Structure 1
């Protein structure tokens, strides 16, 4: 409806396009018995219009149609409603500063002028037309063309009477005339492939019950608190064998996973990406629905309930987040409006060489808004406690995995991606501003400086960084046959040279058990499964005592023998055997000691807490170090012995006189070991050794890590 003047004709003109309709009238909605204005059918396909010459002001109206089958429908016209997005929202979005743009763009059930419906908005600045399509209009783009909101590049439409659950897509017409369908970049729920339609969803209905967790999260997730993370791929953790091996639902996972995590003493779970993705084989890292938990295990509210339950069980939830790249699936972000909108046009900037994906244009304000708001939306809508940012190294360097001539230097001639660096700093700043206590964790595989330093000090602003160097060095050492380890003692010691340069998480993630690398157990340099189990237990003992937060991928906690397969369940039956359930029992004890001993988790980032005792005996493959609490009252001596022989009366220097009680022995028979050790602990002697005035004689079991607690 709009004012119309042509020659002597003037009034209010109303047009409508209605399929399968024989007659249509405009009904004044201002009163019960308001006047009706019959419309003329000017085109057989369903185009109607009427000029109301006795009115000069637009008014609230409805359309009353008569179908060919004589059915009468009366409804509000979508085009009778003003835009639902304000000019200030659009201004901030175009500036890159609308941090909650996910509440404006996308599909949102709401009430406008007392009329319930759904508002739709999408950014497509280079499209010549954008239409809303779905089963409600037979997927025909002629019925619901959206209105362009000027130079903002946003197209918008409110559809009265529409309800949650409706499937939809956007039909776009490019400047060259091509017409194609796209899913909603801000869609928060999707149907399964191959159709991948977006689904209208109401986020306002879920009632949270995790207030106790949220109230304590700032202190609970401080970096001087214990953090032991169980990394999980939801689709392959456990499957229902009696139901065609289907994955568990969010509801089933909540209870079973919480029980398991609690039993093993982990403080957090980290979920491999749950954002919507069409290809299972990408493990979730090729995202097409950045704002949507995957449909595979339930609805968005089911995922909220999953997180809610974890919080009620005192378990934090960290989510893998993938802003580094996106896939080339044509139904999603690539070439969104017929141009390179979210990606770079130049493949030297926009093509990811390793994964065949596309790289976001981090310098474009609206793209930055999309990504920053995406991070914030997971924390807002789903109460996520931390984001582990995938493939940060590929974001930081313009020449990442590129040969000469395949990349473009930055404005200063360097290889740093200045726009991506600025984006990461801003995202980390805003996460900490809006959601204090939330953890930002970088998977960054290079020696880029200041990853966990604040932007004010020139850093990237992450809280934690995965320690990839420690992982590679130690894995290389333990993969070797024990006879060769004496030549690689530096693999155990080199990491301490940079240990306190960042706030590190010591990790053995899914990356270590895929792509033909074998499982953690089978990679151990030993012959039999029993020897491999013994070796793996010694590695875990060293890992949990070494400074840094902890992360372990699922299946590794019981020594799965097969390499991880995203399409099948873990080998739970192996827990019937001591070589496997012994590893599981050890993990429980390691997590307990890590959480309860003041010298361990609470000093992970304090250089004064760590001191080598001796790392010189490469011939025997022995290292020893001590962890000390800030007040000096708690001391844990750690001895690692990585050859398959028992050593008696082995002397080691001690930092304090008194009794040192053995509190953990990875070779205990309880874990499936030989049970050699120091049952009654060791008393110090005033014999100078290893540059300490005190020392003691220890029994060192084969392939073992021992913890001793100082009791004075």
Structure 2
């Protein structure tokens, strides 16, 4: 059972609290269910000394439930029933019925019945609200007298006294944001406290100046005696292994080391041998061998299919070629999410100076790091309006590509990690990965790595590449228990134990990514899974603190799904220090309302969520790898690309442009996948590669070309305006929602200058020749920053480049599913920076506003 099924169940319980569960088609004959209780978060709900509240969630999983063996425990194969017991935190049990209806069918029937009554009531409520609010637009930033927020402190678990306010010389921060103490803002002018050049992981291979080699391995106890066997000593045959035995270090007896005499060890492979004659892998090695890696770098190697650790001596990038480190602080982020295979497979190399010139990525799988870096992809992404790229995990994972196989590496296996230090060797060497990251930096595109520190795979591929007997389970702590192994997950993987030793090891791996490979940030997979484990919260706080001590400009994005404001709060204020986390309840609304006719769109719920969620500085997305892969329900877009879900022809497929713009302009953090813009059908599982030929070979003014060019202009508008930066967020960013026509107006402000930026998104299919929005000041010149009505984007070109506001209004043409953005050009006046009323954060995450009592 995946986290997304859990979220769907939350939504079900909100709209239909009388429904306590559903049966699945996959249930076996055994009716009993077990309950796995999980405390999601415990928040301080007020001033210091007040009572605490606890939000409890339980996952019901069949005793006979088995992971999908075809994916080695990958999430999509899991089944089960999820029930929210937030209203009844005591332990419950369920008896599974013999009903053969699927969860999706039950969901659909229940929702249909609930919506019949709910929509009738909400229609009248909406009409009353519309009548009361149509007299004038909703409050702008300057309208302090109509602020409808209660005075309340942010309820977070701040253990230490609140630090003194920071004095900033480079940034002016919105008064609303100032009180939130977001990590993204508190780090704005922080200088590195530690020199990156001094970082060295506690465990790993160290190349000494005299060409000797030191191995330091996290063994976990002081009893085991491991020896090195490998290419350098005939794999232990007819050799005295005494010189290769690792001994506990003085400073840390759980770290063992040995130093080999000077020699050329580069590319040699090795394993560890314990005192009982059992072999295991060094989990701190820079990479594990794969058949593709062996064939490319060794030619004919007899143990080509064996999985071994590899010694790789890094080669520094020449100073003349090294691009500056990218600082992602203070910027609105437009992020492309992809796996490296999907990015490159159908791209044709456009660099005549590259040996890949004219080839497609499918012809260079074992050199994808080089191919991506050399063949114009970094420059293309910058041209498309992305200022950062997020790669799905590149750490060593269970799936290894056989060069002669008919299939290409599947993105789903990348989340089944077997080594969070080593990089996946199918696509090239560690040096080639560094060069690829440097190529993105030269194009001014930051690179974020998706990492999995919440669970690991205890099994690898079939023999002779079986990982289980060689990997995590072979290491034990001082008390004899497994060093790494925690409880099993619903995906068939293992949770980590976040002991001091393991936390230190994971943090070193995270720092290795940022400091030695040059990644500009990390995306932490399954943050809720980490946070729910003992000492998981400490891992998050310690990891972000360590990263920012070396590189304050690096971002840490969390795949966190329960709206816990603790996650994005700065470390010094008791938070986890993450830059941003996902906005899942917004996405759940998005998946359903995108499928509705204009008049059915629940814009009141949208308004409520945007008002309540902005203080969390959440990341918004029209879809990511999970959403475009994992099946949903017929009334949702989940499990397929948006054009496949809409299926409305060229006209209604234009919904993609405005509904994505809604995500883009609602926060300072946005993510999508480019398959969205090539208008691909299917889903990420059956049609993962980006179909670049649909863009490269499209005829002029084609639908694909028009929508790609528009999304590029939207993103350029977004990342080029300081008003969209996180430190400029404010409580009245949603300036006005036209509930009759489903049109949203955002007001974003650069508080350093007072310049205002307006973005208007038409979610409906109606066109307006003279649409009016409220703006400030009363009279000013506004430049057209983005306009879907341009002829190049398939519009009529009705709007001039410059417009004048009159009586606090702008009038312009707004097409169906239209997107328009304006930038104030004159009469820019300073914004009042005096403190505002305390920002309210809604902690009842399942409270969706007008429909609740």
Please tell me the TM-score bracket, short chain as reference.
Answer: 0.7 to 0.9
Q: TM-score, normalised by structure 1?
A: 0.72
Choose which of 617, 631, 641 in structure 1 pairs with 2:762: 641
Choose which of 561, 583, 586 in structure 2 pairs with 1:445: 561
In the alignment, is the contact (CA less than 8 A) between 2:617 and 2:667 conserved in 1?
Answer: no
**Residues 563 and 182 of structure 1: is their aligned pair in 2 closer, same or farther, counting only changes over 3 Å?**
same
* Mapping 1:426-445, distance limit 5 Å: 426-445=542-561
For the residues of structure 2 that align with 1:523 and 1:457, how far apart are their CA atoms? 44
For the residues of structure 2 that align with 1:667 and 1:562, how far apart are their CA atoms? 29
Q: Which residue of 1 aligns with 2:229?
A: 133
Choose which of 491, 504, 507 in structure 2 pairs with 1:355: 491
Q: Which residue of 1 aligns with 2:87?
A: none
Task: Tell whether 2:333 aligns with 1:227.
Answer: yes
In the alignment, is the contact (CA less than 8 A) between 1:667 and 1:702 conserved in 2?
Answer: no
**Is there any run of 5+ residues in structure 2 with no aligned partner, and where?**
1-196, 292-304, 347-358, 400-408, 460-467, 632-637, 827-853
SS in 2 for 1:558: coil
1:457 to partner: Cα distance: 1.3
1:648 to partner: Cα distance: 3.8
For the residues of structure 2 that align with 1:595 and 1:118, how far apart are their CA atoms? 46
1:628 to partner: Cα distance: 2.5
Q: Which residue of 2 aligns with 1:305?
A: 435
1:526 to partner: Cα distance: 5.5
Task: Tell whether 2:786 aligns with 1:664.
Answer: yes
**Residues 587 and 643 of structure 1: is their aligned pair in 2 closer, same or farther, counting only changes over 3 Å?**
closer
* Mapping 1:147-158, distance limit 5 Å: 147-149=246-248, 152-158=253-259
For the residues of structure 2 that align with 1:518 and 1:128, how far apart are their CA atoms? 47
Choose which of 331, 340, 343 in structure 2 pairs with 1:237: 343
1:166 to partner: Cα distance: 1.0
Offset from partner CA, 1:479-523 (integer Å, 9 cap, x none): 3233422xx113432232233322333234222211243444325
Choose which of 507, 515, 518 in structure 2 pairs with 1:380: 515
For the residues of structure 1 that align with 2:615 and 2:596, how far apart are their CA atoms? 28
Choose which of 645, 648, 658 in structure 2 pairs with 1:527: 648
SS in 2 for 1:229: strand
1:102 to partner: Cα distance: 5.8
Task: Tell whether 2:639 aligns with 1:509.
Answer: no
SS in 2 for 1:452: coil
In the alignment, is the contact (CA less than 8 A) between 1:558 and 1:580 conserved in 2?
Answer: yes
Choose which of 302, 313, 316 in structure 2 pairs with 1:202: 313
Task: Tell whether 2:705 aligns with 1:581.
Answer: yes
In the alignment, is the contact (CA less than 8 A) between 1:522 and 1:532 conserved in 2?
Answer: no
For the residues of structure 1 that align with 2:369 and 2:670, how far apart are their CA atoms? 25
For the residues of structure 1 that align with 2:721 and 2:248, how far apart are their CA atoms? 60
Offset from partner CA, 1:346-381 (integer Å, 9 cap, x none): xxxx22423211111112x22122111111111221
* Mapping 1:22-421, distance limit 5 Å: 103=201, 105-110=203-208, 116-124=211-219, 125=221, 128-140=224-236, 143-144=240-241, 146-149=245-248, 152-160=253-261, 161=263, 163-173=265-275, 179-192=277-290, 194-203=305-314, 205-209=316-320, 213-214=324-325, 217=326, 220-222=327-329, 224-239=330-345, 245-247=363-365, 249-255=368-374, 256-279=376-399, 280-281=409-410, 282-329=412-459, 330-337=468-475, 340-344=481-485, 350-363=486-499, 365-398=500-533, 417=534, 419-421=535-537
1:132 to partner: Cα distance: 1.7
**Residues 333 and 435 of structure 1: is their aligned pair in 2 closer, same or farther, counting only changes over 3 Å?**
farther
In the alignment, is the contact (CA less than 8 A) between 1:609 and 1:627 conserved in 2?
Answer: no
Q: Bigger shift: 434-443 or 552-561?
A: 552-561
Q: Bigger shift: 180-189 or 234-243?
A: 234-243
Task: Tell whether 2:664 aligns with 1:544.
Answer: yes
SS in 1 for 2:393: coil
Q: Which residue of 2 aligns with 1:402?
A: none
**Residues 608 and 202 of structure 1: is their aligned pair in 2 closer, same or farther, counting only changes over 3 Å?**
same
1:119 to partner: Cα distance: 2.6
**Residues 310 and 337 of structure 1: is their aligned pair in 2 closer, same or farther, counting only changes over 3 Å?**
same
Task: Tell whether 2:525 aligns with 1:424.
Answer: no
SS in 1 for 2:494: coil
In the alignment, is the contact (CA less than 8 A) between 1:664 and 1:707 conserved in 2?
Answer: yes
For the residues of structure 2 that align with 1:709 and 1:435, how far apart are their CA atoms? 33
1:681 to partner: Cα distance: 6.4
For the residues of structure 2 that align with 1:154 and 1:505, how far apart are their CA atoms? 39
In the alignment, is the contact (CA less than 8 A) between 1:235 and 1:567 conserved in 2?
Answer: no
For the residues of structure 2 that align with 1:302 and 1:341, how far apart are their CA atoms? 35
**Residues 314 and 128 of structure 1: is their aligned pair in 2 closer, same or farther, counting only changes over 3 Å?**
closer
Offset from partner CA, 1:79-112 (integer Å, 9 cap, x none): xxxxxxxxxxxxxxxxxxxx9996553333436x
Supply the RMSD in Å over aligned alpha carbons: 3.0
1:545 to partner: Cα distance: 2.5
SS in 1 for 2:414: coil
Q: Which residue of 1 aligns with 2:182?
A: none
Task: Tell whether 2:819 aligns with 1:705.
Answer: yes
**Is there any run of 5+ residues in structure 1 with no aligned partner, and where?**
1-98, 345-349, 399-416, 687-693
Choose which of 576, 582, 601 in structure 2 pairs with 1:466: 582
In the alignment, is the contact (CA less than 8 A) between 1:482 and 1:525 conserved in 2?
Answer: no
1:532 to partner: Cα distance: 4.1
1:440 to partner: Cα distance: 1.7
In the alignment, is the contact (CA less than 8 A) between 1:107 and 1:119 conserved in 2?
Answer: yes
For the residues of structure 2 that align with 1:131 and 1:251, how far apart are their CA atoms? 35
**Residues 157 and 641 of structure 1: is their aligned pair in 2 closer, same or farther, counting only changes over 3 Å?**
closer
For the residues of structure 2 that align with 1:524 and 1:506, how far apart are their CA atoms? 19
Q: Bigger shift: 697-706 or 242-251?
A: 242-251
Q: Which residue of 2 aligns with 1:18?
A: none
More strand by share: 1
For the residues of structure 2 that align with 1:627 and 1:191, how far apart are their CA atoms? 50
1:386 to partner: Cα distance: 0.8
SS in 1 for 2:383: helix
In the alignment, is the contact (CA less than 8 A) between 1:519 and 1:556 conserved in 2?
Answer: no
Offset from partner CA, 1:452-486 (integer Å, 9 cap, x none): 2122211111222233333333333223233422x
Q: Which residue of 2 aligns with 1:40?
A: none
1:638 to partner: Cα distance: 2.5
**Residues 313 and 647 of structure 1: is their aligned pair in 2 closer, same or farther, counting only changes over 3 Å?**
closer
For the residues of structure 2 that align with 1:680 and 1:456, how far apart are their CA atoms? 46
Offset from partner CA, 1:598-651 (integer Å, 9 cap, x none): 43x33x343448444432x43322222322322565323332222223234444
* Mapping 1:536-685, distance limit 5 Å: 536-565=656-685, 569-575=689-695, 576=698, 578-599=702-723, 601-602=724-725, 604-608=726-730, 610-615=732-737, 617-630=738-751, 633-658=754-779, 659-672=781-794, 674-675=795-796, 677-679=798-800, 683-685=804-806
1:199 to partner: Cα distance: 0.8
1:274 to partner: Cα distance: 0.8
For the residues of structure 2 that align with 1:644 and 1:469, how far apart are their CA atoms? 24
**Residues 625 and 148 of structure 1: is their aligned pair in 2 closer, same or farther, counting only changes over 3 Å?**
closer
**Residues 633 and 104 of structure 1: is their aligned pair in 2 closer, same or farther, counting only changes over 3 Å?**
closer
1:667 to partner: Cα distance: 4.4
